[in-house]
C-alpha cells in the first residue's frame, strides 16, 4: 500500500495545479497579513478562503484526478492488490498532498501571523475540510462513471455545503421563528462541516459577538473542552463515513 | 445680641481647644472602641491601634474622627452592621471591616452614612461585607480610596459595593470594588461625581444609576462585570473618559442607557463587550470621540431613541458596528471613522465621498431572529449583505454617516 | 485451475454473462471465441475480479476469488486496450509494476518480450506519446514479465505489426510448452490454429460449447479453425 501511496503522491505533486494552489494560498495569505493594517480584517478574508476556496479546490481537483486516473486504477485492479488498498492509497495520496499544499500555503503564514489560538484552530479546520471534501470527491467520482456528471455532482455538493444548506437553514429559521431553535441550530451545524468549522473558528475569533444570546449556546456547547473534542469528532466522522461509503462502492464496482 | 455671639464664639473656641485624642488598644485607656466613642465629644479623635475588635454595631452620633492605625480589623461576625454614622463631619479612616451581617430585610452595611452631611470615609478595606458603604440621605460626603471586596455568588444574596440613596453632592473617588451585586449604585442621587474608581467582577453592574440627575463619572474602569454599566431614568449625566471592557454575556453591555436625556458621552473606550453601548428611549445624547473596538456590536440603538448625535467616534474591529430594531431613525451619525468603510475620497479631504451604512442586513436579521447567529460570517450572509448594500430593503434608509472619515481619529 | 460455476452478470438489461460454467486446466491453451458483445471480455474481467458476477462464483486453484486478491499474482493479463497513466514513461510503468509485484515474492522477471519488441530504447517515452501498437507491446511485455502460471490475453495481436505478432506468437508457444494455462480471445482465427488446444465458443453471454480442437475438427470436418467456427455459426443460425 505504501508503494501505491508513493506513486499517487509523487504524481500529484508533479501536477502543476497543486503547485499553483499552494502558491495561490501563499500569496493570498501573505498579502492579506501584510497589506491589511489590522489583523482581524486579514483573518476575516482568510476565513473565507478556508471555508469556501479550500473545499472547492479540494473537491474539484480530487474528482478530476480520480477520473483521470481511471486507467491507472484499472491497471492496479488487475494486479495482485486489494481494492481496499488501492482506494485508500488514492485517498491518502490526495488528502495528504492537498493538506500539505494547504499547510504550506496557508497554515504556515496563519500560524506565523495570527494569534496562536485562532491560527491553530483555523489551520486545523482547513485541514479537516480538505480531507472531508476529498472524501466527497471520491464518493461523487465512484458513484457515476460519466466524468462530466461526476464533476457536476462534486460542484453541486460543494455549493450545497457552502451556500444552499445555509439558505435552507435561514428559511427554516424564519418559518419557525416563534419556536425555540437553539437545539435545532446545534444539530443543524453537525450536518454541515463548513458551518461547524466556521463556528469553531469564530469561537476563537469573534468571541464578543458570540457572547450574545444565541452565541452563548454555541460557546457553552463547543467552547468547552469536551465540546471541542466532539466537534473534531464530528468532522472526522464526516470524512471517515463519506470515505467508507465510497470505498464500499468501489469494492463492488465493475471496471 | 452681640453678647450672645461672643458667647457662642467663646464656646466654640473652648470646644476646639478641648479636642482630645482618645486612644484605643490593648494597653491603652480604652480597650474597646465603643467605650471611647461613648465618652468622645464633638471634634475628638478616636485613635485605634491594630488588632481585631468585635464590637457589634458601632454607632457614631457625634462629629468625631475615627482613625485606625495599620488597619485595625472590625469584625461584624456575620451578624451586625459594623459602623453606623449618624452625625455630621465624621471621618472614618484606615480600618479593615470584615464579615458584616447579611439580611434580606435590612440592608446591613460595612459603613452606613445615615442622614448627615460632610462625612468622609477613606482608606478603608472592606472584606466580605453585605453592602459596603451605604449612604442614605447623605449630603456632600466623600468616599475615597476604599477597597471593597465581596464574594457574592447570586444576585439576590449579595449587596452593592458603594450604595447611595437619596443623596446629594457625593464624591466617590478612587475606590476599588469587586464581587458585589452592583459595584457602585446610585438612586436619587444628584450633583455627584464618581472619579477614578475601579469596578470589576461584580455580579450585575459595575455602576448602576437610577433616577440620578446631573451627575458625572470620569475616568473609571468597569471591567468584567456581569452586565456592564447601566444608566437609567436620568438626565444631565456626563460620562467622560471611562473604560468599559470585557462585559460579556447574554444581556451584557459596556454601557446600557435607558430613558436617558440631555447627557454627554465623551472620550470613553468600549473594548470587547458584547454590545459597546445599548440605547433605549434616549434623547438628546451627545456621543463624541469615543473608541469602540472589538465589540460584538459597537452600538445598539433601539428605534425608541431620538435626537442623539454620534460624532467623531472610532469604530474599529467590531463584529457589527451598529445594530437597530426598526426602520425609523431619528439620530444622526456624522464624521465617524468606520474601519469597514469601503468608499473613496477623491478630493482628499479625509472625508469619504459616499455615505457609510453601519447597519448590515445580517445584523437586522439577527435582531429579528437571534437563532440566525448560526450563520454568522457565512457565505450566504455576506452575499445578502452585498446585495443589500446595492439595494437597501431591510436596513433603515436614513441610518448612515454622510461624512465618514478615511482615517481613524487620534483618540 | 480456473473453474467458473454458473456465472451470470447483467449490465442494466443486457445479459453479459448467462450461466457460464467453464473449467480450464494447466497446460491448456484455450481460445475464447464469439461474436462482438458475446461476453468474452466480461468473462475475462470476471476472472480478474474487475467485474463482480451477480450470480455464481469462480474458483482459482480451488479457492473462491471473491474477496481474494492474492491469486492475481499468478496471472498475467494483457488487456484489449492497454491504458496507462499518461504522464509516466514506459520505464516508470515497468518499474512501478515490478515494485508492486516484487512485494509478493516474485523477484526474477522475464524481459524477453521487452527485448523482443525492442522497447529498451523507448523506455524514456511518456505513455501518452505512444502509438496503439507500442502500447500493445507494453501490455504484452507486462503480461509475461512476472512468469505467471496463467496468461490471459485479450485480443493480443490487434494493432501489432506482423513482426511483433510473430514474436508474441513464439512467446505464447514457448509458454504453452512450459505447461502454463493460456486464455486467448481473438477475432483473427487463423492466427490461433497453431496455438490452441481447446475452444470455448460464446454467444449472447452463454457458452455454446467448450471442446478440444480435435473434437471440433472431427465434428465439423474442417481442419482450419476459422472454417470450423464458420460451420458452427452457420449451423446455429
- Asked if B268 and B244 touch (Cβ cutoff 8 Å), the reply is yes
- pLDDT by residue (tens digit) across A99-150? 999 999 999 988 888 877 888 999 999 999 999 999 999 999 999 989 999 9
Band the pLDDT of C110: cuts 50, 70, 90.
Answer: confident
**pLDDT at position B144, please?**
95
Contact residues, chain A, for C7 at CB < 8 Å: none
- pLDDT by residue (tens digit) across B204-245? 999 999 999 999 999 999 999 988 899 999 999 999 999 999
Which DSSP symbol is given to A30? H
Which has more pLDDT, B327 or B246? Answer: B246
Please, which residues have CB within 8 angstroms of residue B256's CB and are 6 or more apart in sequence?
Answer: B205, B227, B228, B229, B230, B231, B232, B277, B278, B280
Give the residue from B343, B295, B339 showing the smallest Cα distance to B320: B295
**pLDDT at position C37, please?**
83
- Asked if A187 and A217 touch (Cβ cutoff 8 Å), the reply is no
Contact residues, chain A, for B372 at CB < 8 Å: 170, 173
**pLDDT at position B3, please?**
62
**pLDDT at position B9, please?**
58
Please give the Cα distance from C136 to C78 (Å, whole number): 8
Please give the Cα distance from A94 to A138 (Å, whole number): 10
Which has more pLDDT, A146 or A3? Answer: A146
pTM for the full model?
0.80
**pLDDT at position A209, please?**
59
Mutate to test the interface with A, among C17, C85, C86 (most CBs of A within 10 A): C85
Strand pairing report for C55-60 and C63-64: antiparallel
**pLDDT at position B46, please?**
93
**Once rounded to an integer, what is the mean pLDDT over residues B5-14?**
56
**pLDDT at position B4, please?**
59
- Asked if C176 and C182 touch (Cβ cutoff 8 Å), the reply is yes
Angle CA B379–B276–B377, to nearest 5: 5
**pLDDT at position B398, please?**
83
- pLDDT by residue (tens digit) across C148-164? 889 999 888 888 888 99
**pLDDT at position A206, please?**
67
- Domain assignment of residue A27, given as a range: 2-251
Sheet holding C29-33, edge to edge: C75-78, C150-154, C181-185, C29-33, C198-203, C206-212
Contact A11 C100 (CB under 8 A): no
SS3 content of chain A, % helix, strand, coil (to 5): 85, 0, 15
Per-position b or e across A169-206, b if 16+ CB within 10 A of its CB: bbeebeeeeeeebbebbbebbeebbbbbbbbbbbbbbb
**pLDDT at position A32, please?**
85
For residue C106, what is the nearest residue in chain A, using CA coordinates? A80
Contact residues, chain A, for B248 at CB < 8 Å: 207-208, 211
**pLDDT at position A62, please?**
95
Domain C2-236 has CATH 3.40.50.300: yes
**pLDDT at position B185, please?**
95
Contact residues, chain A, for B318 at CB < 8 Å: 208
| Structural domain count of chain A | 1
Which has more pLDDT, B11 or A118? Answer: A118
- pLDDT by residue (tens digit) across B334-392? 999 998 888 899 988 999 999 998 888 888 888 888 788 888 888 888 888 888 877 77
Q: Mean pLDDT lowest for which of A40-44, B109-113, C73-77?
A: A40-44
Angle CA B341–B343–B349, to nearest 5: 105
**ipTM of the complex, rounded to two decimals:** 0.84
Band the pLDDT of A76: cuts 50, 70, 90.
Answer: confident
Mutate to test the interface with B, among A46, A177, A211 (most CBs of B within 10 A): A211
**Once rounded to an integer, what is the mean pLDDT over residues C176-199?**
85
| All structural domains of chain B | 20-226 (2.160.20.10)
Contact residues, chain A, for B273 at CB < 8 Å: 208
- pLDDT by residue (tens digit) across C17-59? 888 888 988 888 998 888 888 888 889 989 988 888 888 899 9
Per-position b or e across A124-158, b if 16+ CB within 10 A of its CB: bbbbbbbbbbbbbbbbbbbeeeeeeebbebbeebb
A68 CA to chain C: closest CA distance, Å?
8
Contact A52 B379 (CB under 8 A): yes
Mutate to test the interface with A, among C43, C69, C130 (most CBs of A within 10 A): C69
The rounded radius of gyration (Å) of the Cα atoms in chain A is: 19
Amino acid at each position: 500500500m505504501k508503494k501505491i501511496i508513493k506513486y499517487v503522491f509523487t504524481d500529484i505533486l508533479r501536477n502543476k495545479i497543486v503547485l499553483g494552489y499552494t502558491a495561490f494560498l501563499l500569496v493570498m495569505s501573505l498579502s492579506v497579513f501584510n497589506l491589511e493594517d489590522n489583523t482581524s480584517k486579514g483573518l476575516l478574508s482568510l476565513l473565507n478562503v478556508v471555508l469556501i476556496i479550500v473545499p472547492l479546490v479540494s473537491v474539484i481537483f480530487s474528482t478530476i484526478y480520480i477520473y483521470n486516473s481511471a486507467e491507472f486504477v484499472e491497471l492496479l485492479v488487475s494486479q495482485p492488490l486489494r481494492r481496499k488498498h488501492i482506494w485508500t492509497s488514492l485517498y491518502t495520496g490526495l488528502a495528504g498532498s492537498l493538506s500539505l499544499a494547504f499547510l504550506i500555503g496557508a497554515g504556515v503564514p496563519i500560524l506565523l501571523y495570527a494569534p496562536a489560538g485562532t491560527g491553530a484552530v483555523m489551520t486545523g479546520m482547513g485541514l479537516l475540510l480538505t480531507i472531508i471534501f476529498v472524501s466527497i470527491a471520491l464518493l461523487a467520482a465512484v458513484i457515476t462513471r460519466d466524468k462530466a456528471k461526476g464533476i457536476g455532482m462534486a460542484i453541486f455538493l460543494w455549493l450545497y455545503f457552502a451556500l444552499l444548506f445555509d439558505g435552507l437553514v435561514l428559511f427554516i429559521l424564519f418559518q419557525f421563528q416563534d419556536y425555540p431553535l437553539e437545539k435545532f441550530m446545534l444539530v443543524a451545524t453537525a450536518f454541515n462541516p463548513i458551518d461547524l468549522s466556521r463556528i469553531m473558528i469564530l469561537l476563537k475569533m469573534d468571541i464578543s459577538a458570540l457572547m450574545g444570546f444565541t452565541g452563548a449556546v454555541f460557546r457553552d456547547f463547543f467552547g468547552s473542552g469536551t465540546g471541542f473534542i466532539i466537534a473534531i469528532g464530528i468532522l472526522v466522522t464526516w470524512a471517515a463515513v463519506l470515505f467508507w461509503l465510497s470505498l464500499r462502492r468501489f469494492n463492488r464496482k465493475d471496471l | 445680641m452681640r453678647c450672645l455671639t461672643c458667647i457662642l464664639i467663646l464656646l466654640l473656641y473652648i470646644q476646639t481647644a478641648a479636642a482630645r485624642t482618645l486612644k484605643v488598644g490593648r494597653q491603652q485607656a480604652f480597650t474597646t472602641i465603643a467605650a471611647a466613642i461613648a465618652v468622645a465629644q464633638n471634634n475628638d479623635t478616636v485613635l485605634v491601634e491594630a488588632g481585631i475588635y468585635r464590637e457589634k454595631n458601632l454607632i457614631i452620633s457625634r462629629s468625631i474622627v475615627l482613625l485606625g492605625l495599620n488597619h485595625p480589623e472590625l469584625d461584624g461576625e456575620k451578624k451586625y452592621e459594623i459602623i453606623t454614622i449618624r452625625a455630621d463631619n465624621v471621618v472614618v479612616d484606615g480600618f479593615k471591616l470584615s464579615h458584616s451581617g447579611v439580611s434580606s430585610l435590612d440592608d446591613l452595611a460595612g459603613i452606613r452614612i445615615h442622614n448627615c452631611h460632610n462625612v468622609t470615609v477613606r482608606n478603608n478595606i472592606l472584606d466580605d461585607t453585605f453592602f459596603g458603604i451605604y449612604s442614605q440621605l447623605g449630603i456632600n460626603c466623600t468616599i475615597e480610596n476604599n477597597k471593597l471586596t465581596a464574594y457574592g455568588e447570586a444576585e439576590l444574596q449579595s449587596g452593592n459595593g458603594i450604595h447611595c440613596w437619596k443623596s446629594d453632592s457625593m464624591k466617590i473617588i478612587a475606590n476599588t470594588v469587586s464581587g458585589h451585586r452592583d459595584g457602585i449604585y446610585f438612586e436619587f442621587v444628584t450633583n455627584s461625581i464618581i472619579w477614578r474608581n475601579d469596578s470589576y467582577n461584580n455580579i450585575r453592574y459595575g455602576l448602576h444609576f437610577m433616577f440620578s440627575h446631573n451627575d458625572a463619572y470620569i475616568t473609571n474602569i468597569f471591567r468584567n462585570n456581569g452586565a456592564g454599566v447601566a444608566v437609567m431614568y436620568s438626565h444631565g449625566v456626563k460620562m467622560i473618559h471611562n473604560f468599559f471592557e470585557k462585559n460579556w454575556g447574554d444581556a451584557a453591555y459596556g454601557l446600557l442607557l435607558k430613558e436617558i436625556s440631555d447627557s454627554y458621552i465623551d472620550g470613553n473606550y468600549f473594548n470587547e463587550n458584547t454590545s459597546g453601548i445599548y440605547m433605549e428611549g434616549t434623547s438628546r445624547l451627545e456621543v463624541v470621540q469615543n473608541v469602540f473596538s472589538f465589540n460584538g456590536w459597537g452600538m445598539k440603538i433601539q428605534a425608541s431613541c431620538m435626537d442623539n448625535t454620534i460624532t467623531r467616534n472610532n469604530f474599529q474591529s467590531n463584529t457589527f458596528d451598529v445594530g437597530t430594531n426598526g426602520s425609523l431613525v431619528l439620530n444622526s451619525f456624522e464624521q465617524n471613522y468606520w474601519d469597514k468603510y469601503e468608499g473613496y475620497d477623491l478630493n482628499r479631504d479625509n472625508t469619504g465621498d459616499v455615505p457609510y451604512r453601519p447597519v448590515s442586513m445580517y445584523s437586522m436579521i439577527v435582531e429579528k431572529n437571534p437563532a440566525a447567529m448560526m450563520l454568522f460570517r457565512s457565505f450566504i450572509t455576506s452575499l445578502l449583505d452585498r446585495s443589500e448594500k446595492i439595494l437597501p430593503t431591510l436596513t433603515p434608509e436614513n441610518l448612515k454617516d454622510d461624512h465618514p472619515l478615511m482615517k481613524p481619529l487620534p483618540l | 485451475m480456473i473453474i467458473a460455476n454458473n456465472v451470470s452478470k447483467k449490465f442494466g438489461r443486457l445479459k453479459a454473462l448467462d450461466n457460464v460454467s467453464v473449467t480450464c486446466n494447466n497446460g491448456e491453451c484455450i481460445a475464447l471465441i464469439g461474436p462482438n458483445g458475446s461476453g468474452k471480455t466480461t468473462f475475462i474481467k470476471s476472472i480478474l475480479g474487475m467485474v463482480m458476477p451477480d450470480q455464481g462464483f469462480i474458483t482459482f486453484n480451488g479457492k473462491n476469488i471473491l474477496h481474494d486478491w492474492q491469486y492475481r499474482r499468478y496471472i498475467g493479463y494483457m488487456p484489449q486496450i492497454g491504458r496507462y497513466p499518461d504522464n509516466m514513461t514506459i520505464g516508470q510503468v515497468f518499474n512501478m509494476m515490478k515494485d508492486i509485484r516484487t512485494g509478493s515474492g516474485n523477484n526474477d522477471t522475464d524481459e524477453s518480450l521487452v527485448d523482443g519488441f525492442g522497447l529498451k530504447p523507448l523506455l524514456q517515452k511518456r505513455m501518452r506519446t505512444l502509438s496503439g501498437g507500442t502500447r500493445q507491446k507494453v501490455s504484452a511485455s507486462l503480461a509475461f514479465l512476472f512468469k505467471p502460471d496463467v496468461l490471459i490475453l485479450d485480443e493480443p495481436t490487434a494493432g501489432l505489426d506482423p513482426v511483433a505478432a510473430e514474436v508474441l506468437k513464439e512467446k505464447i508457444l514457448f509458454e504453452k510448452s512450459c505447461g502454463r494455462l493460456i486464455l486467448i480471445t481473438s477475432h483473427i482465427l487463423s492466427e490461433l490454429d497453431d496455438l490452441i488446444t481447446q475452444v470455448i465458443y460464446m454467444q449472447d453471454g452463454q457458452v455454446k460449447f467448450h471442446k478440444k480442437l480435435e473434437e471440433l475438427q472431427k465434428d465439423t470436418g474442417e481442419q482450419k479453425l476459422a472454417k470450423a467456427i464458420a460451420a458452427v455459426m452457420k449451423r446455429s443460425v
